[in-house]
């Protein structure tokens, strides 16, 4: 394909993809499948990699996220992004209407809009091209987050307007995305976000835009900042015009002629807000006529022509029947309030988070108390306070147990943590997640042992802990549903092969708190054998480069547990390798072809597992990165290599196939 043909196909792909984005993310009416969309995006990226000079800033390919930034640049807002005054009840709204009418001494109409609970941002377009996005900041100065905002697919990268224009809106995280993100954080043992607003703000303030791209954010545009056009005379006309330009505006806005209509609109959304797919925390009321807005002007902090009605925190009173304990994947024991069912924010609540023992003590919560609950961010129920006037002598003080409710092991409180934690590796409440982690790609990498198979084995009582994986019998597996002769044979062969893994894979697979794949490699390389590591004390661990206080303490505590020592001994008896097989940094040959080189792996590797190739190259002094640039020294291309191979060819980067890699590693 020559350049002219590529340019023609690129233009066609961009037009189609932009239309698909608009249909899906703005109109909520997709016309193609996800797979068809993905194929076109990949084809576009491939062509732009072949002809980098054809890449433009408004290409849909630029939404996937770029290289991480070192810091955000400060941005001065030409027209300040002022905050609004607040109204909390009907009387406040009537006072606002009275002040507006007295200031104008003429008829006035209002526009009511849902107040989206997210992060206020501004978008600047020049000659139709999206050139800059910024946070509100303190109203006069924000931070440039253009690369992060480009990942929001409802933001057009180009509009049909020759003038320079700045538009403003609220970036937010839909409820569905928020719940999925917190489920993922919980599975990884990370602290969940408290509400969608914090999640959206945290996503847009990531220096790595790929993180923002993965968070599925959205936006509603609601006003114009700097714009020279004077043909539109009202805020409602501007909302309609923003929509014609391709911006996503909230469809629920309404023009009201009287304050009575405004109050009715507010009351309607107090009842209907739980039915929305995104969070709102109030209603914004604005004078519609722009000339009237200008005459009313501003106070030192707020416009006189607009106000924000803030929804009261929806709370409910119920009885706390009991406090239930659950053990998470990382062993944290979490208390949960069991409640008499009560309706809050449109849903029936029967359970609420109590977080930890310190919070229970701080709020003096007792079993049998009458309590006030609310939904944090209107999603996560929590106990706000106790109604102590209703307390009698029947209520019972709650004490966290000293032993794990699932396995009866001693609970510990690690330094600087408020949570109690079970560190018994055989705790049944942690076993399934622990098993899934143990067999995962970066740990023991046992092919065929996916999440569903692990759960099936556990439920059929064929495995109880990770050692049981190495005791599985063919006859037992053949009796399971969806387990045929070939799949069972392949599974048992994969389990047997994993016994030969180098020590670092086993260490990571054990799931020791704070010990990731990199730390596991550091420990294995330093101690060389599991025996040496188990016998190491805190002082010896802390001396190792990259092993901090928390990690050293966690490792020492883990191997002090009798259950952990017994597990290691059993795995050793089952034939698992307990030694480091890789090269030590001190053993790196000076003439290594990989030494001090920046290397990219791409395509499907058939001789090596990708992680194995990465580890061997790094052991020989190479540095693996994920993208091709002028700094790349070597690209190793497996089967079906795509855009990275094309870009390497364009830049003149040295390219190897997998056989050349094998020969270099053998030498």
| Residues in contact with 2: Cβ distance below 8 Å, sequence separation at least 6, in sequence order | none
Q: 122 - beta bridge partners? A: 134, 168
Contacts 24+ apart (CB under 8 A), 525-534: 525/580, 525/582, 525/584, 525/585, 527/580, 528/503, 528/579, 528/580, 529/503, 529/578, 529/579, 529/580, 530/503, 530/506, 530/568, 530/572, 530/578, 530/579, 531/578, 533/507, 533/559, 534/559, 534/565, 534/568
Q: 169 - beta bridge partners? A: 121, 221
- The closest alpha carbon to 181, from 40, 372, 377, belongs to 377
Quote the CA–CA distance of 337 and 321 in Å, as a whole number.
8
Exposure string (b/e) for 193-207, b if CB count within 10 Å is 16 or more? Answer: bebbbbbbbbbbebe
Q: Which of 8, 39, 74, 115 is catalytic?
A: 115
Quote the CA–CA distance of 142 and 120 in Å, as a whole number.
10
Q: Has 461 been annotated as catalytic?
A: no
Quote the CA–CA distance of 543 and 552 in Å, as a whole number.
9
Helix axes 658-666, 610-619, angle to 10 degrees: 40
| Residues in contact with 236: Cβ distance below 8 Å, sequence separation at least 6, in sequence order | 111, 253, 255, 288
The token pair at 148 is: 């992060």
Q: Chain-centre distance of CA 14, in angstroms? A: 28
CB-based burial label for 383 (10 Å; 0-12, 13-18, 19+)? buried
Quote the CA–CA distance of 307 and 305 in Å, as a whole number.
7
Quote the CA–CA distance of 216 and 60 in Å, as a whole number.
15
Is residue 392 within 8 Å of 415, Cβ to Cβ?
Answer: no
Question: N- to C-terminal Cα distance for the chain?
Answer: 39
How many Å is the maximal CA-CA distance in the chain?
Answer: 91
Quote the CA–CA distance of 462 and 476 in Å, as a whole number.
8
Token pair 């089952």 is found at 574
CA atoms within 13 A on the CB side of 135: 20
**Residues labelled as active-site residues:** 115
């Amino acid at each position: 394909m020559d350049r002219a043909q590529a340019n023609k196909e690129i233009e066609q792909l961009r037009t189609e993809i932009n239309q698909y984005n608009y249909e899906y993310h703005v109109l909520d009416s997709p016309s193609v499948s996800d797979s068809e969309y993905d194929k076109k995006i990949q084809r576009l990226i491939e062509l732009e990699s072949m002809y980098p000079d054809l890449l433009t800033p408004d290409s849909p390919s630029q939404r996937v996220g770029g290289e991480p930034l070192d810091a955000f640049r400060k941005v001065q807002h030409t027209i300040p992004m002022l905050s609004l005054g607040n109204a909390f009840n009907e009387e406040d709204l009537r006072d606002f209407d009275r002040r507006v009418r007295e200031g104008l001494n003429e008829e006035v109409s209002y526009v009511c809009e849902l107040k989206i609970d997210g992060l206020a941002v501004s978008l600047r377009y020049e000659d139709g091209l999206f050139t800059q996005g910024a946070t509100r900041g303190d109203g006069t100065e924000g931070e440039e987050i253009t690369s992060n905002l480009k990942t929001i697919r409802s933001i057009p990268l180009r509009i049909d307007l020759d003038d320079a224009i700045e538009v403003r809106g609220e970036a937010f995280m839909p409820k569905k995305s928020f719940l999925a993100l917190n489920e993922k954080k919980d599975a990884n043992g990370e602290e969940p976000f408290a509400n969608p607003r914090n999640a959206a703000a945290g996503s847009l303030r990531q220096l790595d835009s790929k993180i923002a791209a993965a968070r599925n954010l959205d936006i509603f545009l609601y006003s114009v900042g700097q714009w020279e056009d004077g043909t539109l005379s009202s805020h409602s006309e501007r909302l309609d015009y923003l929509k014609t330009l391709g911006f996503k505006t909230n469809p629920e806005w309404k023009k009201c002629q009287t304050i009575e209509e405004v109050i009715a609109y507010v009351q309607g959304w107090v009842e209907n807000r739980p039915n929305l797919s995104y969070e709102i925390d109030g209603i914004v009321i604005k004078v519609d006529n722009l000339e009237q807005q200008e005459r009313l002007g501003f106070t030192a902090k707020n416009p006189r022509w607009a106000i924000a009605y803030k929804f009261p925190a929806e709370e409910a009173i119920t009885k706390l029947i009991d406090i239930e304990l659950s053990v998470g994947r990382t062993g944290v024991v979490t208390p949960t309030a069991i409640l008499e069912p009560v309706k809050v924010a449109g849903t029936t609540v029967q359970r609420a988070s109590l977080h930890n023992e310190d919070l229970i003590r701080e709020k003096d919560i007792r079993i049998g108390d009458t309590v006030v609950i609310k939904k944090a961010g209107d999603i996560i129920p929590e106990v706000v306070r106790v109604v102590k006037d209703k307390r009698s002598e029947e209520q019972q003080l709650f004490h966290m147990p000293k032993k794990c409710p699932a396995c009866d092991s001693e609970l510990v409180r690690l330094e600087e943590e408020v949570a109690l934690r079970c560190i018994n590796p055989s705790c049944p409440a942690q076993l399934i997640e622990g098993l899934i982690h143990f067999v995962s790609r970066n740990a023991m990498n046992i092919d065929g042992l996916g999440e569903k198979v692990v759960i099936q084995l556990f439920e059929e009582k064929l495995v109880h802990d990770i050692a049981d994986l190495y005791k599985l019998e063919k006859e037992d597996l053949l009796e399971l549903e969806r387990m045929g002769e070939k799949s069972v044979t392949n599974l048992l062969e994969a389990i047997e092969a994993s016994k030969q893994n180098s020590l670092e894979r086993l260490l990571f697979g054990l799931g020791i708190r704070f010990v990731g794949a990199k730390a596991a490699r550091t420990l294995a390389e330093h101690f060389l054998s599991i025996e040496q590591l188990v016998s190491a004390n805190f002082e010896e661990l802390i001396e190792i480069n990259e092993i901090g206080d928390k990690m050293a303490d966690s490792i020492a505590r883990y191997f002090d547990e009798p259950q952990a020592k017994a597990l290691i001994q059993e795995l050793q008896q089952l034939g698992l390798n307990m030694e480091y097989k890789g090269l030590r940094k001190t053993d790196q040959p000076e003439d290594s072809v990989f030494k001090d080189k920046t290397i990219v792996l791409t395509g499907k590797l058939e001789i090596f597992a990708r992680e194995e190739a990465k580890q061997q190259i790094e052991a020989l002094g190479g540095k693996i990165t994920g993208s091709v640039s002028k700094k790349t020294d070597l690209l190793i291309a497996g089967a079906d290599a795509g855009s990275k191979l094309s870009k390497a060819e364009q830049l003149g980067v040295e390219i190897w196939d997998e056989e050349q890699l094998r020969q270099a590693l053998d030498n």
